[in-house]
Structure 1
Amino acid sequence: MTKQRKQIRLGAHFPGVNNTTVWSDPEAGSQISFESFRRFAQTAERGRFDFLFLAEGLRLREHQGRIHDLDVVGRPDTFTVLAALAGVTEHIGLAGTINSTFNEPYDLARKFATLDHLSAGRAAWNVVTSSDAFTGENFRRGGYLDPSDRYTRAAATVGAARRLWDSWLDGDLIADAQEGRFVADPHAGAYAYHDRFFDIRGRFNVPRSPQGRPVILQAGDSPEGRDFAAANADAIFTRHSTLEAGQEFYRDVKRRLGQFGRTPEELLILPGVTFVVGDTDEEAQEQARVIRRQQVSGRTAINFLEQVWNRDLSAYDPDGPLPDVDPVVGTELLTQGRASVRRDDALQVARRWRERAEADNLSIRELVIETTGRQSFIGSPLTVASQLNYFVQNDACDGFILVPHLTPGGLDPFVDKVVPLLQEIGVLRTEYSGGTLRENLGLPPQAAAAEAREEAS
């Protein structure tokens, strides 16, 4: 019996600050101007992508007391941008990265339910966590949350938000809509939720939204992150560098779903990947080499190295060999915020990097270029389309979240040249078929998923 070909799911990642986007390129646009967001979203919708994915951070990183050189472009508020994009798009999903550590369930649930109504069922929440005091200084609670509690609080936050979203359901009772006005039901919106993090009760003031609940995304490769995704998420945003690594991750996460009364169809695995499309494979490879050197300047390479060594390395030549001194551990980190490596792993990382640099005769900059790159698909349109399809059909993933190196025009080569090839072989839609993001992603309806979990329990 011939195995049915899987449909490729696609997300488009509008970056926050990172080491992927080349903001110095003359074709790069603004990180804050709405025109950048509009063009990016409409290009993704033209390519029949499933959703647009906004990154967000709650504080810019600092390196040796100064704003990190990759973090100078700013991060506008996610909900504001997504609400505006709902008015200039019709089908594409609107996914926002919102922190579960420093936000309250009621406020989150209300904003996402509102976005789902405004967009006619296209809202998605990428749930992220934080445990560092540096980020926490922006908030009343500060950064006291123990790292071991970050996924526990995240699960509680999602659980409480779901209780609020479902509060307009009471058994078979659903508040009816008539001419845009919701009929008051005595049970509609009433909720109560209690655990070690939250003790809340009241009446939720946003009626049931088109999807019932927004689609939940989560990013994390750790065992805790995999369990959290298996229990709570509709899609997991991950990264892996080879087909074999992707297949191992795919098998592991899909296997975990059964522990939580879920089926493999209820969770999509979508690695974040970069791409370079050229007229030929050779041209694309040359473009990729140029892009990687643009992404990692000499200063950036030294900054990355200092995150591991935790010492001032400004005197070292980025085009020279790695330092012969060991990392400093057990002291305050030079980089505050999101760092490349935990301090207790620094000695092991430094040893591995030295071994690789020696084996391949790599300079500091060359090593950083090699070790910080995402999984990339590089080649002619046919080569890239074939590679993407091979990964999906061989269960390394269910699709991809594309991270272009240019904003906002970086998706254009993919949409213009690769998408038609995927559509031609029947693995990517030619038109949107569903009315909501959940339907377009091929996820089970909320009611069916809930019944399956009840039967499993």
Structure 2
Amino acid sequence: MSKPLKQIHLAAHFPGVNNTTVWSDPKAGSHIEFSSFVHFARTAERAKFDFLFLAEGLRLREQGGKIYDLDVVGRPDTFTVLAALAAVTDHLGLTGTINSTFNEPYEVARQFASLDHLSGGRSAWNVVTSWDAFTGENFRRGGFLLQEERYSRAKEFLATANELFDSWRGDEILADGATGVFLRDAKAGSFVHSGQHFDIHGQFDVPRSPQGRPVVFQAGDSQEGREFAASSADAIFSRHATLEAGQAFYTDVKKRLSTYGRRHDQLLILPAASFVLADTDAEAEELAREVRRHQVSGATALKHLEFVWNRDLSHYDPEGPLPDVDPDVGDDHISKGRAQVRMYRDPLTTAREWRELAAANDWSIRDLVINTGNRQTFVGSPATIATTINDHVQADASDGFILVPHITPIGLDGFADKVVPLLQERGVFRTEYEGTTLRDHLGLTHPDSVDDRVAS
């Protein structure tokens, strides 16, 4: 008997400020005006996507003591944008990244419970930690937590927030449309938590929301991050979007679930994926090369190289050879608030490997950065991309993808109009929303219906 086809989950990531967007394209729009968010969200909903995802930036990045060029547009507040989008969409899930290192469980739980009410059960929380003391300078606690402490705090943060969400139970309240919500039990909303990181008690003031709790996402790729996702998350963002790497990640994370008494289907794996779409595969390949050239200007290439070299390389020619000087491995890094700093933990080895690559391929600095850092996940005609996405999902390399277009806000339009119908024809993607909440879209149970929670 053949294996039944898996249903594909699709989401859209509003790119915000990053090196994916082709800023020079005349079709590129604002990343902060509400009209851009509205167009993007309505396109995703028209295509019957599961959710829209917003990343978070808590401080403008710097390089060499100056604000990094891609950050000059600013970063609007996640909750404000999602609450506004709840009013202009009806079905689309609304996922926001909110940091567990610098916030408090009560305020975050209150905000997500409110968003879940306002949206009719469409909220989701991407729980992240912060490795960055530079970002922490914006906050009262400031500073930095070691990796094991970050995940310890994050696990307790989420467990505490769940206690707040669960403090209002269905049998403890009586809803009356005319006069509001009455308590059957004076203890409804009461909570007490005493732990390593949080010692709080009181009354939670937002009644049980439509989903009970927001859907929880997690994005860590370390061993601690994978365990955190397996123990506590409903979905995990992954950077492993190729078939082989995706299958390895998928197998590794899914096998961890049984340790926490969870089923295989209680955690979805959704890699981020960029794409370039054209009428034919050949046209798409040519367009992809053009997009990569626009994504990596000469100045951008030099800044990227500075992540590894930890030196000012502005006097180098981006169309020339790589520096012959070795990276500075000192503790004080030229780049502040950049995740790429963590990606190159052995800069001397990385520099040697890059020099070898550049010599073997006759690459300039810019050529190297283009060919090592900005490859699109899916490139081709609508039929090719639809087939590739379906093949990845059916082969258990993922449960779907979070799509990141290279133009905002219209970059999702072509995918919605040309690729989604092909997936629908194959019977692997919905033609209509069948439920009202994000948990419905993702096939996740309500916390009150099946106790799939893990004891903290």
TM-score normalised by the chain length of structure 2: 0.96
Is 1:176 aligned to 2:174, yes or no?
yes
Match of 1:11 in 2: 11
What amino acid is the match of 1:4?
P
1:152 is displaced (CA, Å) by 1.2
Unaligned stretches of 5+ in structure 1?
Answer: none
Is 1:409 aligned to 2:407, yes or no?
no
Cα distance in 1 for partners of 2:390, 2:406 equals 21
Cα distance in 2 for partners of 1:453, 1:79 equals 27
Cα distance in 2 for partners of 1:322, 1:339 equals 22
Match of 2:25 in 1: 25
Return closer, same or farther for 1:183/1:405 CA change in 2, 3 Å cut-off: same
Contact between 2:385 and 2:419, CA under 8 Å: does it hold in 1? yes
Match of 2:340 in 1: 340
What amino acid is the match of 2:182?
V
SS at 2:236 equivalent: strand
What amino acid is the match of 2:158?
V
Match of 1:323 in 2: 323
1:453 is displaced (CA, Å) by 5.5
What amino acid is the match of 1:207?
P
SS at 1:384 equivalent: helix
Larger mean CA deviation between 344-353 and 71-80 belongs to: 344-353
What amino acid is the match of 2:211?
Q
Cα distance in 2 for partners of 1:282, 1:392 equals 24
Match of 1:124 in 2: 124
1:338 is displaced (CA, Å) by 1.6
Larger mean CA deviation between 79-88 and 310-319 belongs to: 310-319
Unaligned stretches of 5+ in structure 2?
Answer: none
| Percent sequence identity over aligned pairs | 64
Cα distance in 1 for partners of 2:448, 2:263 equals 14
Match of 2:374 in 1: 373
Contact between 1:16 and 1:57, CA under 8 Å: does it hold in 2? no
Contact between 1:8 and 1:427, CA under 8 Å: does it hold in 2? yes
Aligned length: 453
Match of 1:299 in 2: 299
SS at 1:341 equivalent: helix
Pairing 1:2-401 to 2, within 5 Å after superposition:
2-169=2-169, 173-179=171-177, 181-184=180-183, 185-342=185-342, 344-373=345-374, 375-401=376-402
Contact between 2:262 and 2:452, CA under 8 Å: does it hold in 1? no
Contact between 1:9 and 1:50, CA under 8 Å: does it hold in 2? yes
Cα distance in 1 for partners of 2:161, 2:281 equals 47
Cα distance in 2 for partners of 1:106, 1:6 equals 38
Cα distance per residue 1:9-40 (max 9 Å; x no partner): 01100022111011222111111110000000
SS at 1:76 equivalent: coil
Cα distance in 1 for partners of 2:373, 2:451 equals 40
1:452 is displaced (CA, Å) by 7.6
Cα distance in 1 for partners of 2:376, 2:266 equals 25
1:241 is displaced (CA, Å) by 4.7
SS at 2:341 equivalent: coil
Return closer, same or farther for 1:447/1:366 CA change in 2, 3 Å cut-off: same
Cα distance in 2 for partners of 1:120, 1:452 equals 22
**CA RMSD in angstroms, aligned pairs only:** 1.5
Larger mean CA deviation between 104-113 and 352-361 belongs to: 352-361
What amino acid is the match of 2:372?
T
Cα distance per residue 1:336-381 (max 9 Å; x no partner): 1124133742112222222322233222111111222255101000
1:48 is displaced (CA, Å) by 0.3
1:451 is displaced (CA, Å) by 5.1
1:311 is displaced (CA, Å) by 0.7
Cα distance in 2 for partners of 1:19, 1:27 equals 17
1:433 is displaced (CA, Å) by 0.3
- Off by >4 Å, runs of 4+ in structure 1: 451-454
Return closer, same or farther for 1:98/1:452 CA change in 2, 3 Å cut-off: closer
1:165 is displaced (CA, Å) by 0.1
Cα distance in 2 for partners of 1:323, 1:161 equals 49
SS at 1:193 equivalent: strand
Contact between 1:272 and 1:375, CA under 8 Å: does it hold in 2? no
Contact between 1:95 and 1:123, CA under 8 Å: does it hold in 2? yes
What amino acid is the match of 2:94?
L
Cα distance in 2 for partners of 1:312, 1:97 equals 32
What amino acid is the match of 1:442?
G
Cα distance in 2 for partners of 1:233, 1:362 equals 42
Cα distance in 2 for partners of 1:5, 1:451 equals 25
Cα distance per residue 1:25-60 (max 9 Å; x no partner): 211111111000000000000000000001111001
1:437 is displaced (CA, Å) by 0.2
Cα distance in 2 for partners of 1:331, 1:135 equals 17
What amino acid is the match of 1:46?
R
